[in-house]
Amino acid sequence: MSVLDDVASRAAELDAADPLASYRDEFVTTDGVVAYLDGNSLGRPLHATRERLAGFVDDAWGDRLIRAWDEQWMHAPTELGDTIARACLGAVPGQTVVADSTTVLLYKLVRAAVDSQAGRTEIVADTDNFPTDRFVVEGVAAERGLEVRWIRPEAGTGVTPEQVRAAVSDRTALVLLSHVDYRSGRIADLPAITGIVHAAGALVLWDLCHSAGAVELAVDDHEVDLAVGCTYKYLNGGPGAPAFAYLARRHHGRLQQPVQGWMGAADPFAMGDRYQPAAGVRQLVSGTPPIVGMLPMRDMLALIERAGMAELRRKSTALTGFAIEVADELLAPYDVRLASPRDDRVRGSHITLEHPEFRAVTAELWRRGVIPDFRPPNGLRIGLSPLSTSFAEVAAGLSAVAELLSPSRS
């Protein structure tokens, strides 16, 4: 048996033993996609979503029309927020809301946080964070006359508690970090870092974009202050699906977000002369909620609750572990380097492999129906959504990478 045949055989055995294998039938697939390895960028749609969208046109929108605002839509941001909190965040109701994009919600929470910390003049962030997070921090600092203290982690190591401890002081208003590093997939020590930030008297805002729906979270138990996450990755909300924001109950009424729109007012239809914020997390809403954009993620959240986050996490670590195992066998001989943790306790649901030819390789993989993600300068990111990805896809995708790197290919 060849090495490729052995890898395919092991993948088949893992799929046969996978207790979550049947969930893959819930997702839309096509013959043109051999291996979808980018679920951490955009999750697959579900069959149920097609029916939900058609039903929405015929019923809630087509039949109820404007009456649906009073009957269901006005409460959708907080109702769906509570579902995300229960299914994915480890949070009690009344602290999570769905609205806007990740960028807009980051801006709202960063501004609200620093404005609540009178006399504190610094924001702490890291240079390896996703561009949006860094750009928002720079913009808010410029608006409010604050300084940014940058943590500079070594490539692939993520931000450590020790680095945070060295960066925070009585000048720190807010620390903004990602829970799972978007390049390496390394999981930050959320409990320890949150405790360090609080000991300095500052607030912490966690970006959960690569965590929600793939990594178990307990934001209430760990006393997180604020969090933001997108819903088009592991929550399968579709392209452009609205993001969610978490604001711990202890900060309600103390933090005031800066985009004062009518839908975040205490009584939107009073058409009042002055803005009076709604009580609780509802005040994070600004404009008209994106009702259509909220529909697809409901089906995925139902699947997550049915499967349970503990089982999703088990499948996630098994998938990424298998991907590392296959990369060691098939790709390491071509000088491919793993840029993600081998320890599954600190690894999210994606891994990154590095090789100088991966930009060109990625383009050819896409042409063949193998779809990973390229991250400059030379990273191939393998994103494995637990409920929709099979071990066979991992084997087929990485086998294709090996074929393209092989010197015998001519």
Residues that are catalytic: 130, 207, 232-233, 381
Q: How many CB atoms lie within 10 A of CB 186?
A: 23
What 3-state class would DSSP assign to 256?
coil
261 in Cβ contact with 287 (< 8 Å):
yes
106 in Cβ contact with 207 (< 8 Å):
yes
216 in Cβ contact with 199 (< 8 Å):
no
Dist CA 261 CA 281 (whole Å): 14
Dist CA 285 CA 100 (whole Å): 8
205 in Cβ contact with 173 (< 8 Å):
no
Dist CA 204 CA 65 (whole Å): 41
- Tell me whether strands 370-371 and 35-36 are parallel, antiparallel or unpaired: parallel
* Chain centroid to CA 384: 13
Q: Which among 214, 131, 154, 132 is positioned nearest to 180, based on CA atoms?
A: 214
Q: What are 119's two structure tokens?
A: 């006399």
Q: What are 205's two structure tokens?
A: 């805002």
Dist CA 173 CA 180 (whole Å): 22
Dist CA 386 CA 273 (whole Å): 49
Q: Which among 57, 106, 81, 96 is positioned nearest to 259, based on CA atoms?
A: 106
